[in-house]
Amino acid sequence: MVVGEMIEERDLVIIGGGPGGYTAAIRAAQLGLSVTLIEKDQLGGICLNQGCIPSKVWAYAARKQSEIPHMKQLGFDMESPKLNLDQLLTYKSNVTEQLRKGVESLCQGNQVEVIQGKATFTSENKMGVENGHQFDIYQFKKAIIATGCTATLPKSFSHNYERVVLSHDIFRLKELPNHLIVYGSDDISLEVAIDYQSFGSQVTLILPDALTLDPSIEKELMRVFKKKKIKVIKGVNGLSIEETDDQVQLEFTDDQGKERLIEGTHLYTSGMRKPNVEELGLARFGVDQIEDGYIVVNHHAQTSNPNIYAIGDVTAEGPALAVKAIKQGKVAAEAIAGGNPEADLTFLPTIIHTTPPIASVGLTETVAKEHGLEYQIGEFSLKANGFAMLSGQKEGLIKVVSDAKTEIILGIHMIGSGAIELSSSFVQLLEMAAKEEDVHFPNYAHPSMNEGLLEAVEALTGHSIHQIDSKKKPHTSDSHTVKIR
């Protein structure tokens, strides 16, 4: 190893070139800081190269597959096409490569210095970067940690298996599983189950934990699973796994106490997430971490060491989502540049690219009930929406939870076509503490999925135009009155 003789000086050094890291780098450069971005693998990180983008390529392909029957109804003369997995893999590679080159160009255009190598803190204001036999030292005024997490097998899995795949493997399989067992209750597990069923695999979905979706959304999702012939099993106790040359076998007891034996050709699990912090040497420099290694930050994304910031999956607050990393990246860069921004994750949307997709923001009915709130709900089925009907996207619903006294909207939840695009409107309404009248007032394009939001809010008072209100009487629980009109 050759140690560089010169110490490079930078305003800001960022470790990790994922969506949070490169966003922070570009924003900091826009604000006039000299920035060095260190990435040990590829720009874009796990999200672009192995996670977010590849998974959404799969979800998009599955959605297109689901549209074929409606295309025939519209008059298109077409056979039922089968998936060419090799072509899909090629398409995914092309998309990720183009996006990665785009990030490289953006960094170059903003004069962000990009260095490939493994970074380690050598002091409170110095960092060593190792790349092969080269080892350079960088002195910085501020640093941002954006190293993300790594997926590992759950503790209940005794060792590595050939037919058990994690999130970075499932989108690289070169053959379609004959029977895919999906083990997980997270967003990607739900997406994988529907994607591979759409591609022709038999799918069994095992939910080891309860879903955190609003109960109406979960009920509709379970109906979709049943329609797609995806077998769903809830609860896992005493899990054991056996693998042969061509099968993987799971034995466990479900939440009803029933013993289960499931055999499949492949098993997918999102696994556990482990923050990538071990190589950084943080403990010596006063950076507070919780037990699992996640870094504690304030609303500026600043750690307990005022010169070191952390963003994204590596931080303790909030779920592991790219949207969180991007927001924290901008906030950290702006704070370092002298601003006073804030990363408020209160209304971070839950987005699931199933078919149909799911978007959820704010309080679910379950949480409102647990907090003893007096609330009311309005639901609107997309079957009654004109655009949903003509586009063949009739599955799903929109649900609104509001405060019964103040009429302030507490949560908006949707499963159905357009949910992801409408989620920004959901977030904005909750951020502005909108009341029901704030949704009533604007004009809505017709026909459009947007009208579904208006009708869900109108359903709070029994005034939805395109559905008959069947819930006339208030419902009561042990601790509060629930007005459902």
Q: Please give the positions annotated as active site.
A: 446
End-to-end CA distance of the chain: give it in Å, rounded. Answer: 72
Query: Cβ(196)–Cβ(172) under 8 Å?
Result: no
**Positions of E strands within 355-446:** 358-362, 375-381, 397-403, 409-415
Cα distances (Å, whole numbers) of residue 9 to 1, 34, 136, 140: 21, 9, 11, 6
Q: Which long-range contacts (CB under 8 A, 24 or more apart) does 247-255 make?
A: 247/163, 248/161, 248/163, 248/164, 248/181, 250/181, 250/183, 250/206, 252/206
CA distance 75 to 98: 35
Q: Is 263 exposed, middle or buried (0-12, 13-18, 19+ CB in 10 A)?
A: middle
Pick the closest to residue 12 from 297, 283, 301, 278 (CA basis).
301
Residue whose tokens read 């004069």: 111
54: cis peptide before it, omega within 30°? Answer: no
- Those residues with Cβ within 8 angstroms of residue 304's Cβ, 6 or more apart along the chain or in another chain: 286, 287, 288, 296
Hey, what are 436's tokens? 């029901």
Query: Cβ(305)–Cβ(140) under 8 Å?
Result: no
Q: What's at 342, amino acid-wise? A: E
- Those residues with Cβ within 8 angstroms of residue 204's Cβ, 6 or more apart along the chain or in another chain: 179, 180, 181, 182, 230, 231, 232, 233, 262, 264
Residue whose tokens read 């979960």: 218
Q: Measured over all CA atoms, what is the biggest interatomic distance in the chain, rounded to whole angstroms?
A: 79
DSSP class of 178:
S
Pick the closest to residue 145 from 277, 19, 31, 32 (CA basis).
277
Query: Cβ(69)–Cβ(185) under 8 Å?
Result: no
**Total residues belonging to the chain:** 485
Which strand (E) or helix (H) includes residue 190?
helix 187-199
228 φ/ψ angles, rounded to the nearest 5 degrees:
-85, 0
Query: Cβ(103)–Cβ(89) under 8 Å?
Result: no
